[in-house]
Structure 1
């Protein structure tokens, strides 16, 4: 995740407001869309950082561009514009999601497999590994990796559980060569 102290502070403030107003889920969805916009249109970030454009015009542009967004998000964006921190929007979203996941007892996980996992398989993996890391559930992103040969590799943050056939073969090879 982000290492930005500024993004953490904005995210924490927005998260606390969202919790107070009972809008955490809706704000999280809006923020994910906002992140997509900023990532796919880097010109928008450059335009909003431009000293040629006045602050009032930037706010007007933001209000028009994100009409359907939650007012708390718009207010946060306006504040970030005023403080010249609009370049931290993507980091803010990442930090907000981290706070929301922690509060809900959810962790993001990447599962590498040779084929697409079924819903039941994903649920079983979520249930089994969530307990190991002290969470209630995992939000799984399934990534197809034919080099595994079979089995799965699970990554939760910087923890990796590897029960793939290729990893087992590599361990066996090391054991045989080391003997």
Structure 2
């Protein structure tokens, strides 16, 4: 991520935080705007033109999206557009991230991150389902309809809206990657980090409490767990927080030993 994108992302997050009230429609509007921008290289280039002044860029946003999305989303989108992004793809990612954060804001105390994780676990454990939702050959409306059937009545409206958008605009990413990334952003907006903890068997409450204290101290914020049981680990733990992976499993140590002996 370039410095321009980091600054633009920080500005977008601050603009969202300054909003008194954010409902799910704001997130839906941002997702919809992102899909429009994603389908038009010309629009993406115009919105990310470093030579355009802010007045002209905001007028472009108003001309394209005025009357199509709500006032709050339009204001936030205008702020994103007048920021400087390192690339058009970063601009598109910025719109999507702000939509995810708006969905998290609108959810209140609902555990949207956990819903996304669980849905991702179900999808990636079923090859046919993963193909149905992620194949480029499947019509997008059919994929969205399938996601809706799976989530209606089983997840919050926020989780359903996020999944619909990710299925509709994957931008070359696999569905599992999409859901993990979205879950991490939702958790960050709610003020905590998420650790996926994989163990050979169930962990006790005392073990989880100790692990939570250790990780919170290391990362400087609250940590919540998504727990996965994988007997193939034999023993120990594999912990992933964002891009950080701590693999203390017995299977990893055995693999490392075999590699050393083979070398």
State the TM bucket, normalised to the shorter chain.
0.5 to 0.7
* Poorly superposed stretches of 4+, deviation over 6 Å: 5-8, 142-147
Shift of 1:123: 1.7
Structure 2: gaps of 5 or more residues: 1-89, 249-263
Structure 1 residue 108 and structure 2 residue 190: aligned?
Answer: no
Structure-1 residue corresponding to 2:181: 95
| Count of matched residue pairs | 154
- Listed as ranges, the gaps of 5+ residues in structure 1 are 163-179
Structure number with the bigger relative contact order (C-alpha 8 A, sep ≥ 6) is 1
Q: Which residue of 2 aligns with 1:44?
A: 129
1:80 and 1:109 mapped to 2: Cα distance? 21
- In 2 relative to 1, CA 23–89 (structure 1 residues): closer, same or farther, beyond 3 Å? farther
Check whether the contact 1:130–1:136 (CA below 8 A) recurs between aligned residues. Answer: yes
Residue 93 to residue 24, structure 1, CA distance change in 2 (3 Å): farther
Please state how far the C-alpha of 1:28 moved relative to its aligned partner: 1.9
Structure 1 residues 161, 16: closer, same or farther in 2, change over 3 A? Answer: closer
- Does residue 126 in structure 1 map to residue 192 in structure 2? no
- Cross-structure match for 1:67: 152
Does structure 1 retain, via aligned residues, the 8 Å contact 2:113–2:187?
no
| Structure richer in strand, relative to its length | 1
Q: From the superposition, tell whether residues 141 and 60 of structure 1 become closer, same or farther in structure 2 (CA, over 3 Å).
A: closer
| TM-score normalized by the length of structure 2 | 0.41
Is the CA contact (8 Å cut-off) linking 1:11 and 1:93 kept in structure 2?
no
